[in-house]
Chains A and B, each alone.
Chain A
Amino acid sequence: MSARLCGPLQVDGSLSRGQGSHPWISDSGVWYVQIWVLENCSPLLTVFGARRGTHTQKVPLAACVHVCLAHVSRVQLGPPRWISFLGHVTEVYLVHLHASVYALFHRLYGMYPCNFVSFLRSHYSMKENLETFEEVVKPMMEHVRIHPELVTGSKDHELDPRRWKRLETHDVVIECAKISLDPTEASYEDGYSVSHQISARFPHRSADVSASSYVDTQNSYGNATSTPYSTSRLTLNTPGQLPQTLSSPSTRLLAEPPQATLWSPSAVCGMTTPPTSPGNVPPDLSHPYSKVFGTTGGKGTPLGTPATSPPPAPPCHSDDCVHLSLPQATAPKKEERTDSARPCLHRQPHVPNDRGLEELHGGKGSVTLSDLPGFLGDLASEEDSIEKDKEEAAISKELSEITTADAEPLVPRGGFDSPFYRDSLPGCPRKTLSASSSTQGTSANPEPLNSSLDKSGPDTPKQAFTPIDLPCGGTGESPAGNRERQASLEASILTPSPCKIPPQRGVGFGSGQPPPYDHLFEVALPKTAHHFVSKKTEELLKKAKGSAEEDFTPSASPMEVLDRLIQQGADVHSKELNRLSLPSKSVDWTHFGGSPPSDEIRTLRNQLLLLHNQLLYERFKRQQHALRNRRLLRKVIRASALEEHNAAMKDQLKLQEKDIQIWKISLQKEQARYNQLQEQRDTVVTQLHSQIRQLQHDREEFYNQSQELQTKLEDCRNMIAELRVELKKANSKVCHTELLLSQVSQKLSNSESVQQQMEFLNRQLLVLGEVNELYLEQLQNKHSDTTKEVEMMKAAYRKELEKNRSHVLQQNQRLDTCQKRILELESHLAKKDHLLLEQKKYLEDVKLQARGQLQAAESRYEAQKRITQVFELEILDLYGKLEKDGLLKKLEEQKPEAAEAAEERLDYCQDGCSDSVTGHNEEAPGRNGETKPSRPGGARGGGGGGGRGGGSSSELSTPEKPPNPRAGPFSSRWETVVGEPTSGTPTTVGSLPSSESFLGMKARELFRNKSESQCDEDGLTVGSLSETLKTELGKDSGVEARAPLTLDGPLLPAPKPDSVGQLRIMDYNEAQLEHS
Chain B
Amino acid sequence: MTEDSQRNFRSVYYEKVGFRGVEEKKSLEILLKDDRLDIEKLCTFSQRFPLPSMYRALVWKVLLGILPPHHESHVQVMTYRKEQYSDVLHALKVIRFVSDATPQSEVYLYMHRLESGKLPRSPSFPLEPEDEVFLAIAKAMEEMVEDSVDCYWITRCFVNQLNSKYRDTLPQLPKAFEQYLNLEDSRLLSHLKACCAVSTLPYELWFKKCFAGCLPESSLQRIWDKVVSGSCKILVFVAVEILLTFKIKVMALNSAEKITKFLENIPQDSSDAIVSKAIDLWHKHCGTPVHSA
Chain A interface (Cβ < 8 Å from any Cβ of B): 845, 848-849, 851-853, 855-857, 859-860, 862-864, 866-867, 869-871, 874, 1010-1011
Instruction: Answer yes or no: B91 CB below 8 A from chain A CBs.
Output: yes
The interface residues of chain B lying within 8 Å CB-to-CB of A870 are 91, 95, 114, 119
Q: Closest 6 interchain pairs by CB?
A: A852-B68, A867-B91, A856-B80, A849-B70, A860-B84, A856-B77
Known: A853-B80, A860-B87. 12 other contacts (CB 8 A): A852-B68, A853-B68, A853-B77, A860-B80, A860-B84, A863-B88, A866-B115, A867-B91, A870-B114, A870-B119, A1010-B117, A1011-B117
A849 to B68, CA, bound (A): 7
Instruction: Answer yes or no: B36 CB below 8 A from chain A CBs.
Output: yes
Shortest Cβ distance from A942 into chain B, in angstroms?
Answer: 15
- Cross-chain pairs A/B with CB under 8 angstroms, 24 sampled: A848-B70, A849-B70, A852-B68, A852-B69, A852-B77, A853-B73, A853-B80, A856-B68, A856-B76, A856-B81, A859-B115, A860-B80, A862-B115, A863-B88, A866-B115, A866-B116, A866-B117, A867-B91, A869-B117, A870-B95, A870-B114, A871-B94, A874-B94, A1010-B117
A972 to B205, CA, bound (A): 56
Instruction: Answer yes or no: B168 CB below 8 A from chain A CBs.
Output: no
Shortest Cβ distance from A877 into B: residue: B121
Shortest Cβ distance from A867 into B: residue: B91
The interface residues of chain A lying within 8 Å CB-to-CB of B68 are 848-849, 851-853, 855-856
Shortest Cβ distance from A290 into chain B, in angstroms?
Answer: 159
Shortest Cβ distance from B36 into A: residue: A845
Instruction: Answer yes or no: B269 CB below 8 A from chain A CBs.
Output: no
Instruction: Answer yes or no: B72 CB below 8 A from chain A CBs.
Output: yes
Shortest Cβ distance from B182 into chain A, in angstroms?
Answer: 42
Shortest Cβ distance from A874 into B: residue: B95
Shortest Cβ distance from B84 into chain A, in angstroms?
Answer: 4
The interface residues of chain B lying within 8 Å CB-to-CB of A852 are 67-70, 73, 77
Shortest Cβ distance from A865 into B: residue: B117
A863 to B116, CA, bound (A): 8
Shortest Cβ distance from A849 into B: residue: B70
Instruction: Answer yes or no: B16 CB below 8 A from chain A CBs.
Output: no
Tell me if B115 and A848 are in contact (CB < 8 A): no
Chain B positions 117 through 138: 1 when the CB is less than 8 Å from some CB of chain A, otherwise 0: 1110000000000000000000
Tell me if A864 and B69 are in contact (CB < 8 A): no
Instruction: Answer yes or no: B83 CB below 8 A from chain A CBs.
Output: yes
Assess A853 versus B76: contact at CB under 8 Å? Given A848-B36, A871-B95.
Answer: yes
Contact of B114 among A856, A859, A866 (CB under 8 A): A866
A283 to B36, CA, bound (A): 166
Shortest Cβ distance from B87 into chain A, in angstroms?
Answer: 6
Shortest Cβ distance from B179 into chain A, in angstroms?
Answer: 37
Shortest Cβ distance from A161 into chain B, in angstroms?
Answer: 117
Assess A863 versus B115: contact at CB under 8 Å? Given A845-B36, A870-B95.
Answer: yes
A864 to B80, CA, bound (A): 11
Shortest Cβ distance from A801 into chain B, in angstroms?
Answer: 69
The interface residues of chain B lying within 8 Å CB-to-CB of A871 are 91, 94-95
A946 to B77, CA, bound (A): 36
Assess A1011 versus B94: contact at CB under 8 Å? Given A852-B70, A859-B84.
Answer: no
Shortest Cβ distance from B130 into chain A, in angstroms?
Answer: 15
The interface residues of chain A lying within 8 Å CB-to-CB of B94 are 871, 874
The interface residues of chain B lying within 8 Å CB-to-CB of A859 are 80, 84, 115
Tell me if B117 and A863 are in contact (CB < 8 A): no
A699 to B263, CA, bound (A): 99
Tell me if A845 and B70 are in contact (CB < 8 A): yes
The interface residues of chain A lying within 8 Å CB-to-CB of B69 are 848, 852
Shortest Cβ distance from B157 into chain A, in angstroms?
Answer: 10
A869 to B116, CA, bound (A): 12
Shortest Cβ distance from B78 into A: residue: A856
A862 to B112, CA, bound (A): 12
Shortest Cβ distance from B116 into A: residue: A866
The interface residues of chain A lying within 8 Å CB-to-CB of B87 are 860, 863-864, 867
Shortest Cβ distance from A879 into chain B, in angstroms?
Answer: 14
The interface residues of chain A lying within 8 Å CB-to-CB of B117 are 866, 869, 1010-1011
Shortest Cβ distance from A909 into chain B, in angstroms?
Answer: 21
The interface residues of chain A lying within 8 Å CB-to-CB of B80 are 853, 856-857, 859-860
A848 to B72, CA, bound (A): 12
A1010 to B117, CA, bound (A): 6
The interface residues of chain B lying within 8 Å CB-to-CB of A1011 are 117-118
Q: For chain B, residues 48 to 99, give those with C-beta under 8 angstroms from any C-beta of chain A.
A: 65, 67-70, 72-73, 76-77, 80-81, 83-84, 87-88, 91, 94-95
Max chain A C-beta neighbours (<10 A), residue from B91, B118, B119 = B91
A856 to B70, CA, bound (A): 13
The interface residues of chain A lying within 8 Å CB-to-CB of B36 are 845, 848
Tell me if B88 and A867 are in contact (CB < 8 A): yes
Shortest Cβ distance from B180 into chain A, in angstroms?
Answer: 37
Max chain B C-beta neighbours (<10 A), residue from A853, A860, A1010 = A860
The interface residues of chain A lying within 8 Å CB-to-CB of B72 are 849
Shortest Cβ distance from B113 into chain A, in angstroms?
Answer: 9
Shortest Cβ distance from B49 into chain A, in angstroms?
Answer: 26
The interface residues of chain B lying within 8 Å CB-to-CB of A856 are 68, 76-77, 80-81, 84
A853 to B94, CA, bound (A): 28
Shortest Cβ distance from B95 into A: residue: A874
Shortest Cβ distance from B121 into chain A, in angstroms?
Answer: 8
The interface residues of chain A lying within 8 Å CB-to-CB of B70 are 845, 848-849, 852
